[in-house]
A and B are shown apart, each in its own frame.
Chain A
Amino acid sequence: MEYWDGMKAIAPELWLTGFALLALLVDLLTKGRNSRTVGYVTLAGLGVTALALMGQSERVTAFGMVEVDAFGRFFKLFTLAALAVVCVFVMSDRRERQHGIGEYYFLLLGAAVGIFFMVSTNNLLLLVLGLELLSLASYSLAGFHKGNKASAEAALKYVIFGGLSAGVMIFGISLLYGLTGTIDLAEMATLGGEGLPRGLVSQLAASPIPVGIAVTMVLAGFAYKISAVPFHFWTPDVYQGAPTPVTTFLAVASKAAGFGALLRFLGVMFVRGDVQGLVADYGGQVGLLIAVLAAITMTVGNVSALGQSSLKRLLAFSSVAHAGYLLMGVATMNNEGFSAALYYMAAYYFMNLGAFGVVLYFEGVNGNDHIDSLKGLGRKAPLVSIVMVAFLVSLTGLPPTMGYYGKFLLFTAAIDNGMTWLAVIAGLNSAISLFYYFRIAKALFLEEPSDESVPRTQPIFTGMLTAFGVCTVLFGLYVSPIMQWVVSSMDLLG
């Protein structure tokens, strides 16, 4: 019976897998002519999975590998919500409506299965497999427009950098395994003594250097997924070359998954209550390493974004900078910082999905994503432009938006944990980001349009963007619903 209990615990993953195969089958049966049906099947699958997720409440470990808990559920629901929006983007993207895009949905659902496993496991094998499943689906999605040179080039760059980071990460894991004799994070952190030199405790007592090398190598794999310096080189090229819905997926769902897995990795290994002594002390040093990475990441992201003329490249560097802000919460290595990171993630969901949605809209209008081509659109498409300004204000971190409150939480967490220098750097960075975000607003509202053509409107799409804009502001003023969800999701360290 234990087997069926385990299957019940991973029901959401099974539903998702089932619907991924169904999407492929439907595409086959309709001979790729009716991609809209496949889109609806995908949306139904996301809905069913969300219901299955919300039905879970107890905390169990399935098959000794999959941890079913509220922390994982936060990231799973986040992924489903992001994917639903990406699906709507795909369905309403005018240039996307061609034959044979059924695999698009299949790959999206496959990536989601990877995310589900990677955010809910303490087992390094399952973590690597989930991460690779996500990566492989993302590579194929980035290169989905085979005929488009930019798309093919983006996918190749993505696959090559992905290969490097996967190689480094798996080598780091093999070192950790050699040092501790286990691939389970919880065992690694708490096991010790008993004849064979198992567990981190005895290794750290002997010498912290091998453990340091191994942990740094594993962090490289996460740094690639969240596009933190020095593994961010792929970000601008891939974001620019990939189809915009895929860029949205990479910027929101894939990055959140990387953070989910990173938080679990660090939390279970170094921070959790049953971790004591040397290992917990060592966690503080890892936190310092991450704090330095955070400072470099946000600075590189913001400074590089200043000179960009392509909107997608600009948002790519902005997403690098946001990875830096989020790492600030991770670096504190305690509940306060992790919760702040989770809240900021929720803020990031609204403002970034919104911003990429607007980019998709403007791409549909102009045929390209240059900032210059936005000139005067504030008069031609006032609603979308005003909503875009709300997203930009939130991305900068000004009140009254979610981005402001999220940054407030992150800054407080950093200062409370003796990282005032990091908060100061982050504050300076926010000031820098004001320049390039408001270049977009200036192009929209303060410059003359180059022609008089009026863009065609898509009511559903515009409505969705407006809803995102309203949420960004509303949840910034009225923070308790999301804050409650975040607090109840932080059972990772308990």
Chain B
Amino acid sequence: MTVPNEHLLFLAAILFAIGVCGFFVRRNSIMVLLSVELMLNAANLTFLAGSRMHSTAARPELSGPIFAIFVILVAAVEAGVGLALVIALFRRKQTVSLDQLNELGD
């Protein structure tokens, strides 16, 4: 028994929606970065589903899985830089809440 492609796409859409909601609702910058990871993983799932839809036994379609691997890499690097900046800010302000980001502005 195989999972139908539609299920993968629905799961991806739900993950993406949770990610977007989390991004706008959460006030903790680490949780916001985590929401971004969720969005990127939704994209990965869609890439894999797309690859399955377009593959035939004679001609496998591999650019989707390859893209997914690179997205994992991008997500890791982005999390690395993001967390480094969170730490840099925490050292100054002793908080990681986005509501406390109020140095800038008129």
Interface set of A (CB-CB < 8 Å, partner B):
124-125, 128-129, 132, 136, 139-140, 143, 146-147, 149-150, 152-157, 159-160, 162-164, 166-168, 170-171, 173-175, 177-179, 181-183, 196, 198, 236-237, 240-241, 307-310, 313
Contacts and interface: CB of A to CB of B under 8 A. Distances in A.
11 contacts: A129-B74, A147-B92, A150-B103, A155-B88, A164-B23, A168-B39, A170-B40, A173-B43, A181-B50, A182-B63, A310-B106
Contact of B43 (A174, A182, A237, A313): A174
A146 B88 contact: yes
Contacts of B81: 136, 139-140, 159
Contact of A183 (B23, B63, B104): B63
Contacts of A174: 12, 43-44, 46-47, 50, 64, 67
B14 interface: no
Contact of B78 (A136, A146, A307, A310): A136
Given A128-B67, A166-B40, 5 more contacts: A155-B88, A159-B81, A163-B82, A174-B50, A236-B104
B101 A153 contact: yes
B106 A313 contact: yes
B88 A170 contact: no
A462 to B, nearest CB: 29
Give chain A's interface secondary structure class: helix
- The interface centre, meaning the residue of B61, B71, B82, B104 with most chain A CB atoms within 10 A of its CB, is B104
Given A136-B78, A157-B101, A125 B43 contact: no
Q: Helix, strand, loop or mixed for chain B's interface? A: helix
Contact of A167 (B9, B39, B47): B39
Contacts of A307: 106
Categorize the interface residue count of chain B: 35 or more
A178 B89 contact: no
Nearest to A370: B106
A132 B74 contact: yes
A175 B20 CA distance: 16
A166 B74 contact: yes
Contact of B64 (A128, A152, A156, A177): A177
Contact of B33 (A160, A170, A196): A160
B2 interface: no
Contact of A166 (B36, B98, B101, B104): B36
Nearest to A143: B85
Interface in B59-96: 61, 63-64, 66-67, 70-71, 74, 77-78, 81-82, 85-86, 88-89, 92-93
The 4 closest A-B pairs by CB, nearest first: A167-B39, A178-B50, A181-B54, A163-B36
B85 A139 contact: yes
Considering residues A149, A178, A309, which has the most beta carbons from chain B within 10 angstroms of its beta carbon?
Answer: A178
A125 B70 contact: yes
A154 B29 contact: no
A140 B56 CA distance: 43
Nearest to A239: B104
A124 B89 CA distance: 34
Nearest to B67: A125
B29 A156 contact: yes
B104 A152 contact: no
A83 B18 CA distance: 39
Contact of A128 (B42, B70, B89, B105): B70
A157 B104 CA distance: 11
Contacts of B9: 178
A132 to B, nearest CB: 5
A163 B33 contact: yes
Contact of B49 (A132, A178, A240): A178
A336 B91 CA distance: 52
A313 B106 CA distance: 9
B53 A181 contact: yes
B103 A163 contact: no
B88 A143 contact: yes
A171 B70 contact: no
Interface in B24-57: 29, 32-33, 36, 39-40, 42-44, 46-47, 49-51, 53-54, 56
Contacts of A124: 67
Contacts of B16: 167, 171
Given A139-B85, A149-B92, A174-B46, A154 B36 contact: no
Contacts of B93: 149
B82 A159 contact: yes
A147 B92 CA distance: 8
A177 B89 contact: no
Nearest to B19: A167
Contacts of B51: 177
Contacts of A167: 16, 19, 36, 39-40, 43
Contacts of A152: 85, 88-89, 92
A129 B43 contact: no
Given A163-B78, A177-B64, A171 B39 contact: yes
Contact of B85 (A128, A156, A181): A156
A196 B92 CA distance: 56
A366 to B, nearest CB: 17
A140 B20 CA distance: 24
Nearest to B68: A174
Nearest to A162: B78
A160 B106 contact: no
A177 B50 contact: yes
A196 B54 contact: yes
